[in-house]
Amino acid sequence: MIPSTGTETRDDSSGLGTDLVLRASNVSVEYAGSRPTRAVREVSLELRRGEVLGIVGESGCGKSTFAYALTRMLRPPARMTAGVVEYYGRDGEVIDLAALSGDRLREFRWNKISMVFQSAMNALNPVTGIGSQMDDIFRTHRPGMDKAARRARAGQLLEMVGIDPRRLRSFPHELSGGMRQRVVIAMALALEPEIVVMDEPTTALDVLVQREILDEVERLRAELGFSVVFITHDLALLLEISDRLAVMYAGQVVEYAPAEQVATEPLHPYTRGLLRSFPDLRGQRREMHGIPGNPPDLREALVGCPFAPRCESVFEPCREITPPLRAPAGGWPVACHLHDPAHDDYSSEGGR
């Protein structure tokens, strides 16, 4: 069951719809081996039409693995061991992505859901021109389009992301990092999908180019109306662009709330630690603090709260009982015993 965030009803004037487009329920992913790695552990999230859902966490927390599970792009030794991912069409159709295979999966992917990968240079074929790579999309998914129509559409897509259509003749290495990332975004939007999953799309770009890419994504989302799952380790960035945030730690969601509430009233100690780890560009100068210690080894069985060894607010139940993700009275879903009334006696004794 998906925990309620208390934000199911939205103001239509915001331009964001209230209807569901994607739901992941209790998704778990494991990397096989002599000591299997449980990289994603019972993650449940919802995406609504027109919104940006941000997923944030340290490297190794399972963000990218979860993204690949959503798009059915997991490769061995990774496999989805539990859970359901469902797409909700505008016509009321509900599609279980796990049930898709072969031509049906190929037709669904990029038409309904597409992905912008972490490294644009690796996502593009270095020995094939940009125009040829975009042409492949239409020849595969739009076989009825003739060559002239395919070329015209490719040029329109480049113009849409702010690139001169003459760049269709260029090879990836002839473009800057920011231009390559824009090309990958254009390719992801080629078939007008309803959902775009962006896996750290601004990694390795300088801050000015990052801002240009983010502004471009926001403009295109407003213009075309697609929904975005935006994955990054940069919480400051997500607070600026997201409608809702899912904070992941050790393969689990530990806080799930509207972005503005995470920014002002984070409930989980891990979220608070992330917020203290970057400077406030608009507020007063303050001392930054990193989170001590290291994330747990996901090959091991996790007992109690996985963040307990690094938590400044740890108290007795944290080391023994795994906190469920649930919403306290007047709050939003958080996996923390500090917000569980059943443990008030412990926390009042100084555990906070």
What's the pLDDT tens digit per position in 299-326?
A: 999 999 999 999 999 998 999 999 999 9
Phi and psi at 6, nearest 5°, equal 80, 15
Closest-CA residue to 230 (of 18, 32, 30, 63) = 63
Confidence class of residue 352 from pLDDT cuts 50, 70 and 90?
very low
List alpha helices for 71-115, DSSP H: 102-108
Given the DSSP bridges, would you call strands 52-56 and 227-232 parallel, antiparallel or unpaired?
Answer: parallel
Q: According to the model, what pLDDT value does residue 6 have? A: 40
Domains of the chain: 12-262 (3.40.50.300)
Q: According to the model, what pLDDT value does residue 119 have? A: 76
CB 172 within 8 A of CB 130: yes
**No. of helices (H) and no. of strands (E), the chain:** 11, 10
Q: What percent of the chain has pLDDT over 90?
A: 72
Whether pLDDT at 120 is above 80 = no
Work out the average pLDDT over 102-120: 89
CB 23 within 8 A of CB 48: no
Least confident of 4-18, 60-74, 176-190: 4-18
Kindly list the distances between the CA atom of residue 161 and the CA atoms of 104, 181, 313, 317, in Å, as whole numbers in the listed order: 29, 10, 46, 51
What does pLDDT average to over the chain? Answer: 88
Q: According to the model, what pLDDT value does residue 351 have? A: 47
Q: DSSP secondary structure string, 218-230?
A: HHHHHHH--EEEE
Q: What percent of the chain has pLDDT over 70?
A: 89
Q: Give pLDDT tens digits for 227-249.
A: 999 999 889 889 999 999 999 99
Q: According to the model, what pLDDT value does residue 282 have? A: 57
Q: According to the model, what pLDDT value does residue 331 have? A: 84
Residue 120 or residue 226, greater confidence: 226
Give the separation between CA 165 and CA 22, rounded to whole angstroms: 33
Q: Give pLDDT tens digits for 201-232.
A: 887 788 888 888 889 999 999 999 999 999 99
Work out the average pLDDT over 256-270: 94
Whether pLDDT at 93 is above 50 = yes
Q: According to the model, what pLDDT value does residue 278 have? A: 73
Return the DSSP state at 292: P
Give the separation between CA 16 and CA 158, rounded to whole angstroms: 26
> Tokens at residue 183, please?
């090309």
